[in-house]
């Protein structure tokens, strides 16, 4: 059985990861694969709550002209990959920044750090999860 670890990083962001995947020499799946797996598992595991879970499409690899248009429409740089608008345990919502399962395969931007810290400041459960399995663990903690 895999052991998911959690602790705050140097920016004081709560992070979840699977240490056995983190030490692997093999590159981890791309972030969109992690996202697809997370959606599939959440849909099955939390069917009632799933109606208030969403992924705001906020990817960085889009054409400049389209990004300008999205910014005018309210695109928020740094917005987390997964929002759970279902309140739990006194927290109004959860924001989760999903990264590849091996920490060295991805990084957290300053905009993402600021978004997570701002969400936590107003009472949200905010975290970074490295891989969908770590994300499931974080969501489980949020709902318990």
Distance CA(42)–CA(84), nearest Å, equals: 11
The model's pLDDT over 28-38, given as tens digits with 9 standing for 90+, comes to: 999 999 999 99
Domains in the chain: ranges and CATH:
4-143 (3.40.1350.10)
By the 8 A CB rule, do 97 and 127 touch?
yes
Distance CA(62)–CA(91), nearest Å, equals: 33
Better-scored residue on pLDDT, 94 or 26? 94
The model's pLDDT over 95-144, given as tens digits with 9 standing for 90+, comes to: 999 999 999 999 999 999 999 999 999 999 999 999 999 999 999 999 99
Per-residue pLDDT at 3 exceeds 70: yes
């Amino acid at each position: 059985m895999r052991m998911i670890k959690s602790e705050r990083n140097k920016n004081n962001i709560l992070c979840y990861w699977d240490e056995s995947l983190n030490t692997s020499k093999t590159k981890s799946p791309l972030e969109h694969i992690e996202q697809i797996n997370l959606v599939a598992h959440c849909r099955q595991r939390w069917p009632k709550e799933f109606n208030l879970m969403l992924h705001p499409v906020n990817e960085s690899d889009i054409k400049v002209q389209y990004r300008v248009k999205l910014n005018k429409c309210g695109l928020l740089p740094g917005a987390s990959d997964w929002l759970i608008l279902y309140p739990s345990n006194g927290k109004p919502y959860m924001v989760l920044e999903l990264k590849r399962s091996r920490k060295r395969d991805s990084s957290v931007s300053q905009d993402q750090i600021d978004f997570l810290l701002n969400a936590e400041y107003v009472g949200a459960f905010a975290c970074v999860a490295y891989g969908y399995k770590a994300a499931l663990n974080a969501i489980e903690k949020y709902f318990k």
